[in-house]
């Protein structure tokens, strides 16, 4: 799936690098399991977004059922931290997470121009 961030401001903004992504129990819930691993198959580039323009990062989710040792836990969605930001966004999308932090269900690429 693509994580798409749109510049809703009146000035250009920069996306540079990887978002932080984890499965969570809700909009204000704690992360469940391991955060997304960085997939460095795409180069990190500085993406300058004019007002109204968007950039994207590719997010991959592996089914929790693929891991017999997974302690399956329902997740309400994804918490996403844009690069170099401490405020998060919540994307509601029910998934099954693994509470085991040694099992990584998520991987994410660096932001690219949309």
**Average per-residue pLDDT for the chain:** 95
Give the tens place of pLDDT for each residue, 79-89: 999 998 999 99
Residues 26-78: tens digit of each pLDDT: 999 999 999 999 999 989 999 999 999 999 999 999 999 999 999 999 999 99
Quote the pLDDT of residue 107.
98
Q: Read off the pLDDT of each residue in 16-24 and give the average, rounded to a whole number.
A: 97
**Domain that residue 86 falls in:** 2-113
Q: What is the DSSP string of the chain?
A: -EEEEE--SSS-EEEESPPEEEEESSTTPPEESPPPEE-TTSPP-EEEE-TT-EEEEEEEE--GGG-TT--EEEEEEEEEE-TT-S--EEEEEEEEEES-TT---EEEPPPEE-
The tally of domains found in the chain comes to: 1
Claim: this prediction has a pTM higher than 0.85: yes
């Amino acid at each position: 799936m693509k994580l798409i961030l749109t510049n809703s401001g009146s000035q250009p903004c920069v996306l540079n690098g990887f978002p932080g992504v984890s499965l969570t129990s809700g909009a204000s819930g704690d992360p469940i399991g391991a955060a997304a691993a960085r997939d460095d198959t795409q180069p990190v580039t500085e993406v300058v977004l004019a007002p109204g323009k968007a950039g994207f990062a590719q997010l991959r989710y592996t089914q929790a059922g693929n891991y017999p040792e997974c302690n399956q836990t329902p997740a309400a969605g994804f918490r996403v931290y844009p690069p170099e930001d401490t405020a998060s966004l919540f994307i509601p999308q029910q998934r099954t997470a693994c509470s085991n932090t040694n099992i990584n269900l998520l991987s994410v690429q660096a932001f690219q121009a949309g």
